[in-house]
Structure 1
């Protein structure tokens, strides 16, 4: 073959000998007058026909477009032209455009049949005279066809529509045997009745796609082969070839000669440049790889979208639309790339311009468009749909997107028992317990007992989860919240269960003298000397004996002691439940020893780390060293806790820092503190068992709560509710940060607010704990000086900072453990081990100190706060009533002077037989509203007929109603929370009236003045009937003078009561007295000054100023009396209550005062919740000199610890605290220490007990 000839597969295109071909486009010319060398057909003597009957059968592994091209003899240049759309493929070559469903390599069968070769002999004499033209002066073509090979090509491959999950091995075997049949079959053997591949392997022949040059008319090239058997199909193909073009078949290959060679042989006069420049093959192969990836991505997403439509409740709303939109954009971008590739290929081949343009074209595309690997990532829910499909086939219901209400589905369930798998796609992919949870779910589906089983996609409900769990409902009430954990607990602990129908879940309180049930197992083979610690099989809380009522209590409720069965965790016990003889059990229970209580109240500023300290403290109880905690692989987490740490990115060569968020624990009543909210939302009690002592840690919401001062007040009311349950407080721990170098406003406020709530008798029980003191070398640090200075202000009690009341902790080692449990290594292991050891020592010292103190009687603090609350509610009404008493006195004095000096007619005298009393009442304004108090926004009116009195009217209602609610102090100007009001802009000015927020306030109630005329009609009637004018005058004066004297007496009583109340607080509270009466009177004085500016009289202002002066004078007198030691003048709790009753009993103004207080009083809305952690101290708490594990005992770095367990506090318990068990740390293990609970015994209690908490 002459140099420069090209061998090109036909690719389903038909061309005759002499046809012209343009190698720059890889296409045959189709112009009717210039598409061939010859005017007519080539002369017959110039065409040589050579028979070459050959059959070629090959089975190849095909992975990509390049290997597909190799099967058909297509080189990279022609392959690039096909990708660019320059060449249209047909026949067998449609295989190149097929979209295979299989991923990766797949078996493909190539079957080639060759019949004859036709060759054009250009050396034939006179052939030049047959040419259609003698001169070529255009570049319309570059080659001419000088050879045609006839026959037929076939490709058999896996069906592009087949399910990717089909059995590929079976398909490969079928293709393999089909190839053997084609290779060795003879016409006779094709008729032999032997098994076909599909018969032998059960493989559906229709799952294969057949691409061929000659196929039956009833078998589309891109459809499944409809043949009955492989043998019949092969015979059919052979008959088709024999009956086509006189048994030649169809062109399958062309030989192309460059037209430039015709000029060289002087057969044509070539007057143009017909050079074809080759492209860079590496760039072409990169394009092939790109379009391979793009085609795979598109096919994957098309299948993905189709599948999403079959499972609409599994995918979020809008997900399909989003994927389709991005797929359309991706497809359009690649279509544009093909157009650019075609144009660039023609330019490179025609002109020989820089072939690097192809590489640059692809690079620019990748820089601007979404790459294929990224578009494939849109199919993110594939495995989720696999899971949904699998469980629905197993019989589960699936609750997801586009489903009806979950509650409706539960209501329509005909079964009493319902098992619900709660999951999100995130926990399904990442949770370490997913495999076990999934297996348990399948086990439930295989169980044929009557029940409903459903999976709830929490993504559809908008809920986040830390881990998946299966919840067991019975009669639509939660029976077991986490079935997997429940089963682990049951297999690892000694458990008791109530007999059916014996539980009384209505009991909402437990006897204070409860005793933990620690008795042997009644099963005969079990160890009879081992006193096991028993937990409830349902709620997992410790079972306790009520002693006084002979009931057994757990978090489920109360049950008669003889209605229980037992199953310990001794391997010899087996699965049977054992029962006690009633008398024997009663004797064991009566012999139980009670616990000693140690109650510790924990107070502190919001954000100081109270909740983290409690979590850390419980872990210090459980583990002697950080090494022990790491080795155990456990973490006691009672309260939600979150924090952030910064680490170097291991994948960044520059060592960029990234932030890791660590979050542990979850509760209905707590936040994690991650978004600025106080972590502890309400008071909770956590019980820890240390030997025979039950330590109660009373966790409280932080002072300076992020939700405002009103929330602080509700929090304190909630704390007092909890304290009512206990007679004694053994210790009060005030937690502080060690880095407060200055007495900031918040620092002073928090310390004073804490001490204000405590009775003076509690001073000896107060200690100060400092958190995170590693940085200050385990000392109070910068906080020492400002705290010391503040404590010196309390001269009434001896408070200071001494060794016995200062404790320095460090929670960083607990954070290290928490991060390690989440697979994050914070480093500095040795430092954290020392920190842990120091904190364990401080914790022991703290408890030893509290044990040695005289307990504080809680009733004293309760009484103080109740009386304080009563006094606070009276302060404002008493000041108003005092003002109105003075007004009443002034009014009656004026009338007395008029009676003395004026000459009144008898009619006027008859009308003057009354007493005038000025008073005030309060009324609610409905929802709170923001009003402006600026002089321009208020109006002073005289709205009371018959009275010389003015009132302030708020003309401007800037926001009505205002939804800030209790965040804003009532009736107080300039509360900082007002800046959050919708009427106040970012600069602090009102959008309605333009005044500053400092001129605004919230009003919940307002006051209005009232005038009463008191008259004894019977007496007046007799006087009018019989008395003279002078007698009438004298009687009118006497009535008023008597009333004035009584009014003055009541005024004095009110004034002195206000002072006595203040001194009551000063005497009994630790925090010095703040005279709230003076503060409110100052507010009234400012209002009167505003009235005077509007034309009002100065009389009311003068009376208020006089009242303030008298008040201060009496305060000074009482202060001097107290300084002399005359404490008999100061009220006690009982005296304060009696004084309130006497105020309400005042004959003239007592009822008015009481009514005002009742209207103003708002019911507290804090909800009391008490929780307990059920954790036992480790044995190291019983040792006097605990042996320290060497720091080197923990080796290496953590990576991700195997099966970490973060155990969570119960969602609800009673007022008691007790140890619990879990799967990792069972409460009781045969052969263990009989006097103490094993370390770390606790588990998560079911959330449904929140409704039954005690």
Structure 2
């Protein structure tokens, strides 16, 4: 694997063969971090006896904590620090919370091959849907640091036996992010496999049916080819024994067998991955840049379509009025201002923290029904935190001056998750398209009639231009959709909407009629559902066009420039996307470099 390292750092790929990179992804709670911990120890001590005799030399990459009970129900907390001291802050140690916070990579040797193993946050995070989106964004920000990946390991608890909306959402969300070409590099590692005797269990057959019957992706499951079965209980046994926890002698043989079977499966999995052709990550990065661009465009496209159509209707009404012979033509000619709606942007001189909860935000609605967000509660002007703009609930906003020590805003009393940074606000303004009073002096009815005819001609031209722009926007949307159809496993996660609806129902049950219960999470989920529906609407309509042009996946920048150059809506697109960043995050900006592991 070719590695991009920060300035001043030597490349960590030092073996004669390029070091394959393996990315581990899973649903939260599948034992991903524990699996990553156990792999290098298994490589160092393939025999269980040697591992037991070298408890002080166990390799623990990631901090872990778990609780064991004895026969008298007395609990003992087993805690082990990670190899990298800074990693402690990258793991949540609380019970019932997802562990990994940011992607990290670990470098070690397996035989003559150097392996870079990347630990990533899980999917279906215990902190909620918004955290899932942030976790995936972190992974995508990490990818530009490497150029190719040998294997993508998806971990699944072999005991999962419910094909519910959560499972469907999780698997689909992972596959949605990957380029179709990456399917050949995906392997599934089923954890807790002692329960299925290290063979395919409930989760295997459930996943197999889901991939073939519902998702219909080119991903065939086969044991020892792209499916492997391990159990981490023996590794936990070693950590517990190191902390002087006593096990009955009759249980040790079970752990010994578990270690032996897991070592065999892990070696087989790593050897299979080492023989795969690497996936070019530029394909996956470009695909996700395209998807991000499409999703960023979704709401502006919907708004501008409605705006153009409203303006066309407005012009047609004024055209009919001009043609009405019952009107005084001379008086009409003196008032030939054609007014249309436009979106204007007011730049703020500094970043400002605002609240987007229902009580703190209004929608400005003009006479044509167009809606724009109006942030009536500005909680902290001139906020100096380095936070991405227009990102709701950024974790750094908890440190904003406006927030108290409970994470709630002292200004509006809403949680920090309902806040964002803005650097500009938008508003609808009236725009004069034609002002004949500045050009003509109408002194007679004849002059008035000529002026009216000229105005009607110009209004028709404006209407035609706006109609052409709508058609161009729709064609560009179709090109975006074609990119996703051609290069992704699935253009969008069709299980996200039912998953959001499920979460909304659950949150409403929690709220019930309780007084004082915060509705912030419910409001966030409802906003996410609305945004997702707008994005899907754009894609579905574009797909219906059945456009099959030969579109390069890296052409999204060209499409962006085309939208910016539109006569009427181009300036609006430029304003709306002024602060949006579609560039890759560079390796130099990523704080977590490779951590070398000696085996």
Task: Identify the TM-score tier after normalising by the shorter chain.
Answer: 0.7 to 0.9
- Once the two structures are overlaid, the 10-residue window that deviates more, 672-681 or 1147-1156, is 672-681
C-alpha spacing 1:953/1:1071, structure 2 compared with 1 (3 Å): closer
RMSD: 4.1
- Give the secondary-structure state (helix, strand or coil) at the position aligned to 2:573: helix
Which whole-Å CA distance do the structure 2 matches of 1:715 and 1:939 have between them?
A: 30
- Give the secondary-structure state (helix, strand or coil) at the position aligned to 2:7: coil
Which whole-Å CA distance do the structure 2 matches of 1:1002 and 1:966 have between them?
A: 6
- Given the alignment of the two structures, is residue 870 of structure 1 paired with residue 324 of structure 2, yes or no? no
Aligned counterpart in structure 1 of residue 235 of structure 2, from 802, 810, 814:
814
C-alpha spacing 1:729/1:1052, structure 2 compared with 1 (3 Å): same
- Given the alignment of the two structures, is residue 596 of structure 1 paired with residue 18 of structure 2, yes or no? yes
Deviation at 1:724, TM superposition (A): 1.7
Deviation at 1:692, TM superposition (A): 2.8
Deviation at 1:1015, TM superposition (A): 3.9
- Given the alignment of the two structures, is residue 909 of structure 1 paired with residue 333 of structure 2, yes or no? yes
Aligned counterpart in structure 1 of residue 244 of structure 2, from 810, 814, 823:
823
Deviation at 1:829, TM superposition (A): 1.0
Aligned counterpart in structure 2 of residue 1067 of structure 1, from 464, 467, 486:
486
The residue that corresponds to 2:433 in the other structure is 1014
The residue that corresponds to 1:856 in the other structure is 279
Aligned counterpart in structure 1 of residue 222 of structure 2, from 776, 782, 802:
802
C-alpha spacing 1:1158/1:721, structure 2 compared with 1 (3 Å): same
Deviation at 1:628, TM superposition (A): 0.4
Deviation at 1:950, TM superposition (A): 7.2
Deviation at 1:726, TM superposition (A): 2.1
Aligned counterpart in structure 2 of residue 929 of structure 1, from 344, 355, 358:
355
- Give the secondary-structure state (helix, strand or coil) at the position aligned to 2:545: helix
Equivalent residues of 2:29, 2:98 under 8 A apart: yes
The within-5 A match list for 1:213-228 is none
C-alpha spacing 1:955/1:620, structure 2 compared with 1 (3 Å): closer
Deviation at 1:613, TM superposition (A): 0.4
- Given the alignment of the two structures, is residue 696 of structure 1 paired with residue 116 of structure 2, yes or no? yes
Q: Unaligned stretches of 5+ in structure 1?
A: 1-505, 516-592, 649-655, 970-979, 984-989, 1080-1106, 1122-1127, 1176-1218, 1220-1239, 1241-1254
- Give the secondary-structure state (helix, strand or coil) at the position aligned to 1:932: coil
Deviation at 1:847, TM superposition (A): 1.5
- Given the alignment of the two structures, is residue 613 of structure 1 paired with residue 40 of structure 2, yes or no? no
- Give the secondary-structure state (helix, strand or coil) at the position aligned to 1:679: coil
The residue that corresponds to 1:838 in the other structure is 261
Aligned counterpart in structure 1 of residue 562 of structure 2, from 1131, 1137, 1142:
1142
Deviation at 1:1062, TM superposition (A): 2.9
- Give the secondary-structure state (helix, strand or coil) at the position aligned to 1:1136: helix
Which whole-Å CA distance do the structure 2 matches of 1:1013 and 1:687 have between them?
A: 63
- Once the two structures are overlaid, the 10-residue window that deviates more, 664-673 or 729-738, is 664-673
Structure number having the greater helix percentage: 2
- Give the secondary-structure state (helix, strand or coil) at the position aligned to 2:562: helix
Aligned counterpart in structure 1 of residue 305 of structure 2, from 867, 882, 894:
882
| TM value normalised by structure 1 | 0.38
Deviation at 1:911, TM superposition (A): 3.4
Higher normalized contact order (CA 8 Å, seq sep 6+, divided by chain length): 2
Equivalent residues of 2:229, 2:265 under 8 A apart: yes
Which whole-Å CA distance do the structure 2 matches of 1:1055 and 1:876 have between them?
A: 13
Structure index of larger Rg: 1
Alpha-carbon deviations, 1:968-1022, whole Å to 9, x = none? 99xxxxxxxxxx9969xxxxxx999xxxx9xx987877753222113478x9536
Deviation at 1:907, TM superposition (A): 5.3
C-alpha spacing 1:672/1:824, structure 2 compared with 1 (3 Å): farther
Which whole-Å CA distance do the structure 2 matches of 1:709 and 1:806 have between them?
A: 28
Which whole-Å CA distance do the structure 2 matches of 1:884 and 1:750 have between them?
A: 37
Q: How many residues align?
A: 520
The residue that corresponds to 1:588 in the other structure is none
- Given the alignment of the two structures, is residue 661 of structure 1 paired with residue 77 of structure 2, yes or no? yes
C-alpha spacing 1:690/1:833, structure 2 compared with 1 (3 Å): same
Which whole-Å CA distance do the structure 2 matches of 1:908 and 1:704 have between them?
A: 63
Which whole-Å CA distance do the structure 2 matches of 1:941 and 1:629 have between them?
A: 66
- Give the secondary-structure state (helix, strand or coil) at the position aligned to 1:1071: coil
Equivalent residues of 2:483, 2:552 under 8 A apart: yes
C-alpha spacing 1:514/1:791, structure 2 compared with 1 (3 Å): closer
Deviation at 1:1072, TM superposition (A): 4.2
C-alpha spacing 1:677/1:738, structure 2 compared with 1 (3 Å): same
Which whole-Å CA distance do the structure 2 matches of 1:663 and 1:1113 have between them?
A: 50
- Given the alignment of the two structures, is residue 720 of structure 1 paired with residue 219 of structure 2, yes or no? no
Aligned counterpart in structure 1 of residue 7 of structure 2, from 504, 508, 512:
508
The residue that corresponds to 2:58 in the other structure is 635
The within-5 A match list for 1:1084-1103 is none
Equivalent residues of 1:640, 1:671 under 8 A apart: yes
The residue that corresponds to 1:140 in the other structure is none
The within-5 A match list for 1:759-774 is 759-774=179-194
C-alpha spacing 1:509/1:759, structure 2 compared with 1 (3 Å): farther
Which whole-Å CA distance do the structure 1 matches of 2:184 and 2:16 have between them?
A: 27
C-alpha spacing 1:1159/1:904, structure 2 compared with 1 (3 Å): farther
- Give the secondary-structure state (helix, strand or coil) at the position aligned to 2:90: coil
Deviation at 1:1174, TM superposition (A): 3.2
C-alpha spacing 1:1140/1:802, structure 2 compared with 1 (3 Å): same
The within-5 A match list for 1:525-674 is 594-633=16-55, 634-648=57-71, 656-666=72-82, 667-668=85-86, 669-671=89-91, 673-674=93-94
Deviation at 1:953, TM superposition (A): 8.9
Equivalent residues of 1:685, 1:697 under 8 A apart: yes
Equivalent residues of 1:928, 1:960 under 8 A apart: yes
Equivalent residues of 1:671, 1:679 under 8 A apart: yes
